Structure 1
């Protein structure tokens, strides 16, 4: 196991009817900006619950944060924070709203050009406003980590950043808030959480036994609950397990002391920025192709993954056949929840390969993966395998 430091200060308030606890979670003297996405938070009554819980505090609102939050939109929130002298942010929504809130928290106190926050990967964040979250869409784990991704629409640049100053102070997780979500968003959440787990698990062995078993348990849970999560929107227990599994997939615990990949995400980000494909769906396009191209360097963990997650026995075939079966099972899982796993499923062809490679080069994404061996040439092979 590799050396590591692990610290996660986010308080989780989990369960039904927990939004009311904002009354005690948010400081009484706070001047609050509520950030949210579209109209669903209003229609479902969640915003009304939030407003009621905040009581007599000074409260302003900022809506319209996109599914892939843009710098251009978020700077409007930054301007509002500064003009109204607001000092506490509250994200109400899914990972995109929480990611956007993290950017606003840092940008509102940043002296330079705020896009530098993303360009530096978060290294330039020296202070940030406190913020909390009310999660309504389980997927990204942003509610319990210090990372985010924002897009500069002007240049189609989608960049990740993180900082120890960008952990939410608290996150309220009420599974009943997911009951009204479209099936498409639940499918996205299942895939997003699955790939988050894989990025930290499917690398190479370092004798991190607890992390491996924990990751395998999360993957098995997602596979087990997927049919019911899609078929029964108001099944509280299933949605509770989805919400908590998605949070655990990226709160830092399973990634402690192990090598991590993240090449699927970096390539997927470019597809989202260029073609506005949902984040999770870009992951489903890239991951099966990447696993096949990287099968030699990932062989030991692919065999372990096939056996422990998919039940592919050691005596069921040669190593190559078992690796093939594990990758096929992964692709099959994504497709079973209604998500296409090839570029052609989004009417994209060779032109998308060239465009993504140009963006990867522009953004310095030329040595990706746990071994830093995915250069532009190998990214081309991965993308062409995903056609």
Structure 2
């Protein structure tokens, strides 16, 4: 097992009725800005519950944060935070709203262009506004981690940052608030969580048995419960397991003391920025091909994954590995998420712009061994057609 420094200060309040806890969680006298997305929280009752809990607080609103939160939208939120002297933020929505809120929390404390957060690799984040979250879409794990991804539309860049200053103080997870999600968002969320686990689990062995077993348990739970979440929209127990899986997939626990990959995510980010694919769609496309292209480097963990997650113990090694990758693709398709670029209308002409973007953003030494070059990424994309 590798050395690690695990830190996670986020309080989780899980279950029905927990939104009412906001009355005590948000500091008395705070000037609060509630950030949200397209307005679905008004339709599913979450908005009313939040406002009822914050009756004794001054609450301003900022809506319209996109599924891939844009820098252009978020700088407007930062300007409003400064103008209104906001001192507490509340993200109500999915991972994109929470990611955007983290950027706002950090950017509002800067005097210069908030995009400098990415240019300086978070080194200029000395402080951030405190914030909490009410999660309505389990997927990214942003409700319990210190990472954020933001897209700059004007330059077609999708960039990420991490800082311990932007851990949520608390996150409220009520599985019943996911009942009204459309199938596309449910499927995307399961695939997103699955890929997050794979980026930390499917690398190379370091005898981290605890982390491996945690990761395998989460993968098995998603495989069991993901299709049920699509079939039974109001099954509270199913939605509870999916929601908690998505949080644990990226709260730092299974990634402590093990090597990480994240090459699939980096290539996927460029696909989203250039062609506006959903984040999970890019992961479903790239991950299987990334595993095939790097089969030798990942052989030991691929065989472990084949046996422990998919129960594949017979046949030669290559047969088991290919069967495990094929099962992964089948699972993504079962969740309604296509696994080929062609599923989204993209052909061979889409590849070189992605490679150019990876090179421009210095993403040419990716993966747990830093050996995913631009040429490897090109091969992966070609295999994904």
**Counterparts of 1:230 and 1:123 in 2: how far apart (Å)?**
42
The question of whether the paired residues in 2 share the 8 Å contact of 1:132 and 1:170 is answered with yes
- 5+ long unaligned stretches in structure 2: none
CA shift for structure 1 position 39? 1.6
Aligned pair partner of 2:324 in 301, 323, 326: 326
The question of whether the paired residues in 2 share the 8 Å contact of 1:121 and 1:159 is answered with no
TM-score (ref. length: structure 2): 0.99
- 5+ long unaligned stretches in structure 1: none
**Counterparts of 2:39 and 2:86 in 1: how far apart (Å)?**
23
**Counterparts of 2:121 and 2:231 in 1: how far apart (Å)?**
39
In structure 1, what is the equivalent of residue 278 of structure 2? 278
CA shift for structure 1 position 227? 1.7
Equivalent residue of 1:310, what SS? Answer: coil
**Counterparts of 2:259 and 2:359 in 1: how far apart (Å)?**
24
In structure 2, what is the equivalent of residue 341 of structure 1? 339
Q: Are 1:361 and 2:359 an aligned pair?
A: yes
Equivalent residue of 1:75, what SS? Answer: helix
Paired residues for 1:123-202 under 5 Å: 123-202=123-202
Q: Are 1:217 and 2:217 an aligned pair?
A: yes
In structure 2, what is the equivalent of residue 370 of structure 1? 368
**Counterparts of 2:227 and 2:46 in 1: how far apart (Å)?**
26
CA shift for structure 1 position 255? 0.2
TM-score (ref. length: structure 1): 0.99
The question of whether the paired residues in 2 share the 8 Å contact of 1:208 and 1:257 is answered with yes
In structure 2, what is the equivalent of residue 231 of structure 1? 231
The question of whether the paired residues in 2 share the 8 Å contact of 1:98 and 1:142 is answered with yes
**Counterparts of 1:161 and 1:247 in 2: how far apart (Å)?**
18
Q: Are 1:351 and 2:353 an aligned pair?
A: no
Paired residues for 1:249-268 under 5 Å: 249-268=249-268
Most deviating of 46-55 and 252-261: 46-55
Which aligned runs of 4 or more in structure 1 are off by greater than 3 angstroms? Answer: none
In structure 2, what is the equivalent of residue 380 of structure 1? 378
CA shift for structure 1 position 118? 2.3
**Counterparts of 2:78 and 2:47 in 1: how far apart (Å)?**
21
For residues 340-385 of structure 1, give each alpha carbon's deviation from its aligned partner in whole angstroms, at most 9, with x where no partner exists.
1010111111111111001101111010000000010111001100
What is the root-mean-square deviation in Å for CA atoms of aligned residues?
0.6
Equivalent residue of 1:220, what SS? Answer: helix
**Counterparts of 2:267 and 2:138 in 1: how far apart (Å)?**
22
CA shift for structure 1 position 55? 1.4
CA shift for structure 1 position 48? 1.1
**Counterparts of 2:78 and 2:48 in 1: how far apart (Å)?**
23
In structure 2, what is the equivalent of residue 74 of structure 1? 74
Equivalent residue of 1:93, what SS? Answer: strand
**Counterparts of 1:317 and 1:355 in 2: how far apart (Å)?**
40
Most deviating of 225-234 and 100-109: 225-234
In structure 2, what is the equivalent of residue 208 of structure 1? 208
**Counterparts of 1:140 and 1:359 in 2: how far apart (Å)?**
23
CA shift for structure 1 position 57? 1.2
**Counterparts of 2:111 and 2:309 in 1: how far apart (Å)?**
48
**Counterparts of 2:304 and 2:121 in 1: how far apart (Å)?**
33
The question of whether the paired residues in 2 share the 8 Å contact of 1:118 and 1:150 is answered with no
Q: Are 1:292 and 2:292 an aligned pair?
A: yes
For residues 261-310 of structure 1, give each alpha carbon's deviation from its aligned partner in whole angstroms, at most 9, with x where no partner exists.
00000000000111111000100000000000010000000000000000
Equivalent residue of 2:149, what SS? Answer: strand
